[in-house]
């Protein structure tokens, strides 16, 4: 059984398991699946009630914080104890393309040449890590939720705003991966 857990699960196993969370949450208390709202709950728990955006009864959503904590704990357990420490499998064409940008290390989930504390203090690293994080946070707030909330929960409930948000998320991802990221990676800074 442990050997089964040490292998990456195929999309046709992991996808339905994630999808089954929607009816489980709806049946067990009319709860909605989404991760980005948990940050608001954490801020509401830690911030004074003087800020109107964080002034609500966050304790009713404590289940969401437990859910997110379980995701974090599961990721840590899998990363430290279950997954074998083999290099990430990357398509040979992508390896050739990334090599032109100086990315050759595939021993972790993210390229160490880009995502490390030394790279953070370069202009390229600042753009990718800080700028990217800001844009993801801004986009999530502007869209009223994240990809899990819209693409998994919203689409399964046939919500038009979730369809629009998911189309925008996907379009933005394609533009970033194919147009903007290669330009940033070519910068010699």
Could you tell me which of 80, 65, 73 has the C-alpha nearest to residue 34?
65
Position 168 scores a pLDDT of 92
Position 166 scores a pLDDT of 93
Position 170 scores a pLDDT of 93
* Sign of the dihedral through C-alpha 178, 180, 183, 187: negative
182 and 101 Cβ atoms separated by less than 8 Å? yes
In degrees and rounded to multiples of 5, residue 171 shows phi and psi of: -60, -45
Q: How far apart are CA 57 and CA 44, in angstroms?
A: 8
151 and 158 Cβ atoms separated by less than 8 Å? no
pTM of the shown model? 0.76
Mean pLDDT by 10 residues, the chain (189 residues): 69 87 88 83 82 83 88 84 71 88 80 80 85 88 86 90 93 92 80
Burial class for 141, CB neighbours closer than 10 Å (0-12, 13-18, 19+): middle
Position 148 scores a pLDDT of 84
Domain ranges of the chain: 1-86, 87-189
Q: How far apart are CA 45 and CA 128, in angstroms?
A: 30
Position 45 scores a pLDDT of 86
Alpha helix (H) residue ranges in 20-159: 21-27, 37-46, 62-77, 92-99, 117-120, 123-125, 132-143, 147, 155-156
Position 84 scores a pLDDT of 64
Residues 6+ apart with CB under 8 A from 8: 83
Position 85 scores a pLDDT of 66
Specify the residue for token string 């998320």.
169
Q: How far apart are CA 29 and CA 119, in angstroms?
A: 45
Position 52 scores a pLDDT of 84
């Amino acid at each position: 059984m442990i050997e089964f857990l040490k292998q990456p699960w195929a999309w046709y196993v992991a996808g339905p398991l994630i999808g089954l969370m929607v009816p489980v949450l709806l049946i067990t208390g009319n709860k909605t699946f989404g991760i980005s709202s948990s940050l608001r709950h954490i801020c509401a728990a830690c911030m004074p009630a003087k800020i109107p955006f964080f002034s609500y009864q966050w304790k009713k959503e404590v289940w969401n914080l437990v859910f997110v904590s379980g995701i974090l704990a599961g990721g840590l357990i899998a990363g430290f104890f279950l997954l074998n420490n083999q290099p990430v499998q990357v398509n040979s064409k992508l390896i050739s393309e990334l090599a032109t940008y100086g990315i050759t290390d595939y021993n972790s989930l993210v390229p160490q040449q880009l995502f490390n504390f030394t790279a953070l203090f370069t202009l390229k690293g600042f753009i990718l890590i800080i700028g990217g994080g800001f844009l993801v946070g801004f986009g999530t707030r502007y869209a009223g939720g994240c990809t899990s909330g819209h693409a998994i929960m919203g689409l399964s409930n046939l919500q038009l705003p979730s369809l629009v948000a998911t189309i925008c998320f996907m379009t933005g991802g394609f533009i970033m991966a194919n147009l903007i990221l290669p330009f940033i990676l070519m910068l010699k800074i």
